[in-house]
Amino acid sequence: MSELIPVLEKKEIENIIEDVARKISEDYKDSDLVLVGVLKGAFIFLSDLSRYLSIPVQIDFIQTSSYGTETSSSGTIRLKKRTGD
pLDDT digits 0-9 by tens, 20-31? 999 999 999 999
Q: Which fold has domain 10-81?
A: Rossmann fold (3.40.50)
Give the C-alpha separation, 16 to 3, whole Å.
Answer: 25
Give the C-alpha separation, 85 to 83, whole Å.
Answer: 6
Question: What residue spans define the domains of the chain?
Answer: 10-81
Task: Give the strand order in the sheet containing 78-81.
Answer: 33-38, 57-65, 78-81
Give the pLDDT score at 76.
75
Q: Taking the model in full, what pTM does it have? A: 0.73
Give the pLDDT score at 62.
87
Give the pLDDT score at 64.
79
- Asked if 17 contacts 49 with a C-beta cutoff of 8 angstroms, the reply is yes
DSSP 40: T
Give the pLDDT score at 2.
84
Give the pLDDT score at 69.
67
Q: Is the pLDDT of residue 58 over 90?
A: yes
